[in-house]
């Protein structure tokens, strides 16, 4: 019973989703009610996760197929809070587009449940179950605005390409099961010596599937189209929440069963990291749509995150976790600005629509300036520290080429962030945007901007929390 209490957050979330589905069917016009209950559910699940699991040592459940440890607890809380923030700033946008329906929060919760299962998985089958639950909800979310052709196209592209990547991933899982006789990470780790090279094939296929899920180059092809076509609130969810679960799976999958094969998978991760950083920096330069630019930008940021995982050290893992946490805060602010670009109930998302923003909306443009400088990695903002921790852990492992490529791509990426700032501050102003934004949207912009600004005063707080993550 004590062990069952450790998975109580997942049980509570599952039962809540079923309850909301029944409530939505039997109670008419319950969109607002279900939205509010969903927010409460996410907060309660966060509190349960915090209370039940943060103080415990690593615990294995259900024949060692589920692991509850500090890494899983921390990542679950970040996932739940990120999903809460996405939901809370989405409602006005969805109402404006007339797609404020009961399905939206339920799909978000279903996707989060899949991510929580992925984060705690210590078995290939459990991990795959979580991944598919997450993906099925994301397919529907991408096509949520059915009246818009781009949204339907985005969902279809994501579904087809994701199905292909899931097939490759499942083939990799079957190869590993075939060579080791088990799907459990701990048992696989003990079976490595006899089939070392054969197992590498399985690792490659699984890494291809995982690289697709986090849109790492060369498996990024879906991201720009899906980000542009999906409703903006769904794009925000895509850029933030699934990446947390995918990073945790990367860490767990490579460091628990395959730590002894680090020579085989390290070069693959370094390639994915370098390709993502360079491509993300260069491809974003020619973009005119903000959501497409954010897609290429997120590909670049995934590259930095993978650089930390590729180091093969606890420091590297911790720096990747810090990076993804700060990246989520920066993205929240960036999309809050994007959701404020509304005029006469129409949302704008081109870079040119930011022209002369500083003259009509000085506070919004100042916040966006801070967020863009932080994304570019300019000190003393939070984004600089995120990159600093990554480069420090990379250099400590004498991976100089990876660090040089990372620094060069940071310089290139700074160009398109600075270009947006130039458009905001020096170009001719356009018609003023509406100012009737929800309090939550204003709060999320102010909250993320302040965190980015004052992070340098107490950087040790986040480091202290993350330093308890020890995988090796």
Position 54 scores a pLDDT of 63
Percent of the chain with pLDDT over 90: 26
Stated pTM of the model:
0.93
Residue 95: band (very low, low, confident or very high) from pLDDT cuts 50, 70, 90: confident
End-to-end CA distance of the chain: 29
- Helices 232-255 and 124-142 cross at an angle (nearest 10°) of 170
Phi, psi for residue 202 in degrees, rounded to 5? -60, -45
* Contact call for residues 362 and 425 (beta carbons, < 8 A): no
- All residues at 6 or more sequence positions from 152 whose CB lies less than 8 Å from its CB, including other chains: 143, 146, 229
Q: Compute the distance between CA of residue 377 and CA of residue 385 in angstroms, rounded to an integer.
A: 8
141-145, 244-248, 256-260, 432-436: lowest mean pLDDT where? Answer: 432-436
Give the model confidence (pLDDT) of 316-375 as tens digits: 899 999 999 999 999 999 998 888 888 887 888 888 888 888 888 888 889 999 999 999
- All residues at 6 or more sequence positions from 126 whose CB lies less than 8 Å from its CB, including other chains: 65, 66, 117, 120
> Positive or negative, the Cα torsion across 371, 376, 380, 381?
positive
Residue 55, pLDDT > 70, answer no
Domain parsing of the chain, residue ranges = 258-472
Q: Compute the distance between CA of residue 427 and CA of residue 335 in angstroms, rounded to an integer.
A: 22
Give the model confidence (pLDDT) of 138-172 as tens digits: 988 888 888 788 888 888 888 888 888 889 999 99
Q: Would you tell me how many other CB atoms lie within 10 Å of the CB of residue 288?
A: 10
Q: Please compute the mean of the pLDDT values over residues 458-470 and round it to a whole number.
A: 82
């Amino acid at each position: 019973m004590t062990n069952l209490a450790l998975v109580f957050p997942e049980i509570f979330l599952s039962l809540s989703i079923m309850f909301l589905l029944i409530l939505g069917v039997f109670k008419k016009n319950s969109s607002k009610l279900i939205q509010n209950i969903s927010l409460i559910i996410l907060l309660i699940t966060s509190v349960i996760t915090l209370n039940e699991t943060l103080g415990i040592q690593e615990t294995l459940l259900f024949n060692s197929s589920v692991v509850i440890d500090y890494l899983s607890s921390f990542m679950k809380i970040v996932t739940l809070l990120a999903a809460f923030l996405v939901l809370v700033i989405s409602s006005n946008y969805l109402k404006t587009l007339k797609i404020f329906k009961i399905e939206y929060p339920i799909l978000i919760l279903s996707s989060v449940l899949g991510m929580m299962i992925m984060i705690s998985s210590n078995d290939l089958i459990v991990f795959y179950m979580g991944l598919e639950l997450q993906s099925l909800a994301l397919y529907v979310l991408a096509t949520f605005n059915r009246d818009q052709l781009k949204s339907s196209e985005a969902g279809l592209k994501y579904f087809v390409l994701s199905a292909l990547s899931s097939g490759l991933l499942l083939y990799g899982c079957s190869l590993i099961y075939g060579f080791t006789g088990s799907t459990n990470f701990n048992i696989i780790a003990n079976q490595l010596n006899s089939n070392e090279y054969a197992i590498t094939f399985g690792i490659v296929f699984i890494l291809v599937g995982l690289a697709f899920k986090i849109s790492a180059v060369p498996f990024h092809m879906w991201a720009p189209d899906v980000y542009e076509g999906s409703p903006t609130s769904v794009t925000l969810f895509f850029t933030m929440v699934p990446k947390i679960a995918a990073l945790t799976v990367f860490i767990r999958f490579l460091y628990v069963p395959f730590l002894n094969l680090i020579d085989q998978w390290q070069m693959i991760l370094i390639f994915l990291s370098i390709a993502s950083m360079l491509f993300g920096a260069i491809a974003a330069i020619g973009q005119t749509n903000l959501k497409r630019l954010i897609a290429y930008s997120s590909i670049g940021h995934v590259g930095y995150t993978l650089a930390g995982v590729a180091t093969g050290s606890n420091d590297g893992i911790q720096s990747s976790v810090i990076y993804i946490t700060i990246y989520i805060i920066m993205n929240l602010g960036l999309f809050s600005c994007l959701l404020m670009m509304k005029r006469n109930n129409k949302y704008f998302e081109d870079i040119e629509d930011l022209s002369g923003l500083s003259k009509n909306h000085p506070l919004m443009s100042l916040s966006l300036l801070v967020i863009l400088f932080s994304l570019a990695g300019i000190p003393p903002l939070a984004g600089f520290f995120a990159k600093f921790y990554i480069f420090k852990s990379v250099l400590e492992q004498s991976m100089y080429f990876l660090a040089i490529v990372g620094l060069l791509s940071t310089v290139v990426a700074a160009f398109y962030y600075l270009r947006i700032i130039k458009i905001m501050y020096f170009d001719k102003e356009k018609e003023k945007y509406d100012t009737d934004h929800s309090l939550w949207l204003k709060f999320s912009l102010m909250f993320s901007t302040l965190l980015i600004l004052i992070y340098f005063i107490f950087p040790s707080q986040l480091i202290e929390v993350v330093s308890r993550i020890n995988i090796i």
